[in-house]
Amino acid sequence: MGSKPRSVGRAILTLEKIRELNPHMPSATALIFLYVASKPGIQVRELEDLTGMTNSATSRHVLVLTERGDVARGQPGLGVVEQFPDYDDLRIKRLRLTAKGEALADSIEKINSLK
């Protein structure tokens, strides 16, 4: 049938790289990571709109990506995303990558720059 289109191959390599953190990671968690990597300072509400997930589902995926993890479900944190307050409105929590998350994003950038 021929070889896979390069973009599909890079998408597979990207998901494999993210899943090195946790081989059982749901694709929705990987998607949340990619949105945070591409939009530093994004709010959980924006992630809900982009993914179509509920607030509780989005929050669970975000928790797994933080250092804290989803304690209620016994899922350890991956430490690649952190929450920080919006300095104009302290009620709002924003998301950004940690140093570990930046390193992962850099690896993904290298994959996607392959020709």
Question: What is the average per-residue pLDDT within 76-90?
Answer: 93
- Number of Cβ within a 10 Å radius of residue 9: 13
Domain coordinates in residue numbering, the chain:
6-112
CATH 1.10.10.10 for domain 6-112, yes or no, is yes
Q: What is the pLDDT of residue 5?
A: 62
Angle at 77 between CA 50 and CA 15, to 5 degrees: 50
96: pLDDT strictly greater than 80: yes
Q: What is the pLDDT of residue 85?
A: 93
Three-state SS string across 102-114, please? HHHHHHHHHHHCC
Using the CB atoms, write b or e for 36-49: b if 16+ within 10 Å.
bbeeeebebeebbe
Backbone angles phi, psi at 43, to 5 degrees: -95, 155
Q: What is the pLDDT of residue 1?
A: 45
At 6, the pLDDT band (50, 70, 90 cuts) reads confident
3: pLDDT strictly greater than 90: no
| pLDDT-above-70 percentage for the chain | 94
